[in-house]
Amino acid sequence: MTSERAYADGKLIARRENGLGWLIINNPERRNALSLAMWQGVTEIVHEFEADPEVRVIVLKGEGEKAFTAGADISRFEIERGTPEGVKAYEAATTDAYAAVRHAAKPTIARVHGFCMGGGMAMAICCDLRVAETGAVFGIPAARLGVGYGYDAVKTLVDLIGPSFTKEVLFTARQFTAQEAAAMGLVNRAVAPEALDDTVAEMAARIAENAPLTIKAVATAVDDLLRDPSQRDRAAVDRLVSECFASQDFQEGRTAFLEKRKPKFRGV
């Protein structure tokens, strides 16, 4: 069963379909550029997907053929970021959106086509996985706009592609091809445009079929390893692993293996 709901005056769409939650950026006439209301809507949609037991995987995509998202809507900077108070409110909204995606309790995939620039690229790298078509273009033009690039955003990029590539991306402010992005580890896969939808669908479906508690434990362990050693919580990770072995899903996985059938995991 498929259901849809619009947010931010229709510029965002939340679609639920076959265990997937689609967060669709629906502003194609502006290359899916994001306004303040849209950033706020991203946070709201992700939290709603997290609370929905029917949603196993969250997929972010841009509407139309030109862009995943070109990032922040620069045409609205004077309106939304023209004062110190406006800048503070806008930065809070983007920080909340990035955090919602980065720390989502369910796996996230960015389906990237066309332009993936600035805040759009920052959002894509907050996802667990990124699949891009070979015509996709990546870049963060902050140095050409005089925009400060904060600690959390830089750390996310460093954790993903390392310090040297991070400096190249931010120092040069140039555009990178999907092939370059794949080589530096920015995307998991770079596929032909005609294969993008099938690749994302197959990846999402495979994840959705697997044990949610196992995925949660792995995601938590990876996130913990990326923290400063003094802030790590090994006990919390160990608890999640123990919950996997104590779960009904663990029993279902063993039974399904012996019966040579696909397991039906419920996350309990």
Query: How does pLDDT run across 202-240, given as a tens digit for each residue?
Result: 999 999 999 999 999 999 999 999 988 999 999 999 999
Euclidean distance between CA atoms 179 and 189, whole angstroms: 9
Domain residue limits, the chain: 2-208, 211-258
Q: Is this model's pTM higher than 0.85 or not?
A: yes
Query: 89 pLDDT exceeds 90?
Result: no
Whether the CB-CB separation of 139 and 117 falls below 8 Å is answered with yes
Nearest residue to 133 (alpha-carbon basis) of 66, 75, 87:
66
Q: Per the CATH hierarchy, to which homologous superfamily does domain 2-208 belong?
A: 2-enoyl-CoA Hydratase; Chain A, domain 1 (3.90.226.10)
Mean pLDDT on 139-157: 89
